Amino acid sequence: MKKRIEALKRQRCAIILAHNYQPPEIQDLADLCGDSLELSRRAAATDAETIVFCGVRFMAETAAILSPQKTVLMPRPEAGCPMADMITPEALAARKAELGDIPVVTYVNSTAAVKALSTICCTSANALEVVESLEADRILMGPDRNLALNTAARTAKQIIPWSGCCPYHDRLSVQEVADQRRAHPGAIFLAHPECRPEVVAMADAALSTSGMLRYARESEESEFIIGTEVGLLHALAKENPGKRFHAVSGKLVCPDMKKISLADVLGCLERMDGQVTVPEKIRRPAHAAVERMIALAK
Ligand code: 13P
Ligand code: SF4
């Protein structure tokens, strides 16, 4: 199956991008695995004609926003992000009207229509940098309440959080972390900023998925408790054969990230289906918000 995928990839001039939570066989197949920020940068920069996006809808949509001339395909188009559905453009427009003229920082885990109403996007890797880049001292940040609160703890600016969350990261409790710390004394605990502030407060570092990979690679420590979706453990173990990684909770699994199989990737390249497009009147303002974020790192 891998050989057929490789042949079709060449024929279609395609690139396969995969998020760090994807199943191991998809991570191993991909041309690039990364966090949301790396994947959006790569989607903007690639000269491939087709992008096969192994992740959830908002990620593929971001690629389509950045590269409208490319064909962006999702092997399982129904893979979504429940957090992205916790904010609608109508609700955001109403809240903006209530709050007056304040900037809106929107996590990339959101629909294109919500991005279109935002000042700038952010990911878990650059949320603080994005907030600090704005002149205003009062900022609306959504849809992730935890990312907003964890960012608020590191800035002097007033952050008004939206009330969404990742149902899986948000469920991680202080008790579970304490149990893992007791089971693995001396291990470093890394938390994703989508975890609750009280969980992040227990962490040695709060990082995006690729931030965790970098930390583990560069650290002299040899044992880590990983406070994010279990898919990241595959890349961590692969890159660091001499180090040990423990999932903070076996329940931290995102079912939408686990939908894609090799057969789905093959089928989508054969049929060229599962195309993700964004209507131009939404794409343009959404592009401005995503591009403002990407420009910060240039
Ligand atoms: P990262 O950008 O850290 O990879 O996170 C994406 C995500 O969906 C986390 O739940
Ligand atoms: Fe969305 Fe959470 Fe899944 Fe990330 S892990 S894609 S935030 S539901």
- Ligand 2 pocket check for 256: Cβ under 6 Å: yes
**Residue 16 to residue 8: CA distance in whole angstroms:** 11
Cα 16 off chain centre by = 16
With both helix axes pointing from N to C terminus, report the angle between 209-218 and 232-239 in degrees, rounded to the nearest 10. 20
Q: Atom 1 of ligand 2 has which residue's CA nearest to it?
A: 81
Find the ligand nearest to 230 CA: 2
Q: Atom 8 of ligand 2 has which residue's CA nearest to it?
A: 81
Centre of ligand 2 from the C-alpha of residue 84, in Å:
8
Centre of ligand 1 from the C-alpha of residue 36, in Å:
6
Tokens of 182: 């007791």
Find the ligand nearest to 210 CA: 1
Contact 162, 87 (CB under 8 A): yes
- Ligand 2 pocket check for 82: Cβ under 6 Å: yes
Q: Which amino acid is at 147?
A: L
- The tens place of each residue's pLDDT in the chain, 298 residues long, gives 999 999 999 999 999 999 999 999 999 999 999 998 899 888 888 889 999 999 999 999 999 999 999 999 999 999 999 999 999 999 999 999 999 989 999 999 999 999 999 999 999 999 999 999 999 999 999 999 999 999 999 999 999 999 999 999 999 999 999 999 999 999 999 999 999 999 999 999 999 999 999 999 999 999 999 999 999 999 999 999 999 999 999 999 999 999 999 999 999 999 999 999 999 999 999 999 999 999 997 6
Element holding 153 (H helix, E strand): none
Q: What is the pLDDT of residue 41?
A: 84
Find the ligand nearest to 254 CA: 2
Q: Ligand 1 atom closest to Cα of 193?
A: 3
Which residue from 119, 4, 114 is spatially nearest to 57, judged by alpha carbons? 114
Domains and CATH numbers, the chain: 2-79+257-277 (3.40.50.10800), 84-164 (3.40.50.10800), 168-253 (3.40.50.10800)
Contact 147, 107 (CB under 8 A): yes
Q: What is the pLDDT of residue 44?
A: 82
- Ligand 1 pocket check for 36: Cβ under 6 Å: yes
- Ligand 2 pocket check for 257: Cβ under 6 Å: yes
Q: Ligand 2 atom closest to Cα of 144?
A: 7
Element holding 63 (H helix, E strand): helix 57-66
CB atoms within 10 A of CB 205: 14
Tokens of 150: 């964890």
Tell me, yes or no, if the pTM score tops 0.75: yes
Q: What is the pLDDT of residue 298?
A: 67
- Ligand 2 pocket check for 81: Cβ under 6 Å: yes
- Ligand 2 pocket check for 109: Cβ under 6 Å: yes
CA-based max dimension of the chain: 56
Find the ligand nearest to 122 CA: 1
Tokens of 151: 């960012």
Q: Apex CA 92: angle with CA 86 and CA 94, to 5°? A: 130
Q: Ligand 2 atom closest to Cα of 256?
A: 3
Strand partners, 52: 16, 73
Output the 3-class SS for 238-266: HHCCCCEEEECCCCCCCHHHHCCCHHHHH
Element holding 222 (H helix, E strand): none
